[in-house]
């Protein structure tokens, strides 16, 4: 079974530029998550999708971050414009269900450096 795929793996941009990350979840997984992991911290949930609907985006900085999951499969997370404090690893995860007991399967992440 293929795991969660993410691209690119690494990205370096200047502040105020825009950037987009792509995620393809495990086949058949209805729930998709984007987490932000700042160096030295645990991952923090940015947004959760159930199929193509948003379940929780309470911690997404909506003035600069946006995410979509068209057709309920793969997803894109965008930052525009980027700030220095956005430097982090962006992790995508998926699960088959949406109860709190579900195991989330994580991709390798995209490491973003904002200069």
Residues in contact with other proteins by CB under 8 A are 3-4, 31, 33, 40-45, 48, 50, 55-56, 91, 93, 95, 97-109
Which CB sits closer to other proteins, 16 or 44? 44
Q: How far is the CB of 11 from other proteins (least distance, A)?
A: 15
Q: How far is the CB of 103 from other proteins (least distance, A)?
A: 5
d(CA 28, CA 30): 6
d(CA 107, CA 93): 6
Which CB sits closer to other proteins, 17 or 52? 52
Which CB sits closer to other proteins, 63 or 101? 101
Q: How far is the CB of 70 from other proteins (least distance, A)?
A: 21
CA distances from 63 to 20, 50, 78 (A): 15, 22, 11
Angle at 38 between CA 6 and CA 24, to 5 degrees: 15
């Amino acid at each position: 079974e293929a795991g969660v795929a993410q691209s690119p793996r690494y990205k370096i941009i200047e502040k105020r530029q825009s950037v987009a990350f792509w995620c393809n979840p495990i086949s058949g997984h209805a729930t998709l998550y984007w987490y932000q992991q700042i160096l030295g911290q645990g991952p923090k949930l940015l947004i959760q999708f159930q199929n193509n609907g948003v379940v929780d985006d309470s911690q997404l900085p909506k003035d600069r971050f946006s995410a979509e999951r068209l057709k309920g499969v793969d997803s894109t997370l965008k930052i525009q414009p980027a700030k220095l404090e956005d430097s982090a690893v962006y992790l995508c995860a998926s699960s088959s269900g949406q109860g709190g007991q579900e195991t989330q399967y994580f991709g390798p992440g995209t490491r973003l450096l904002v200069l």
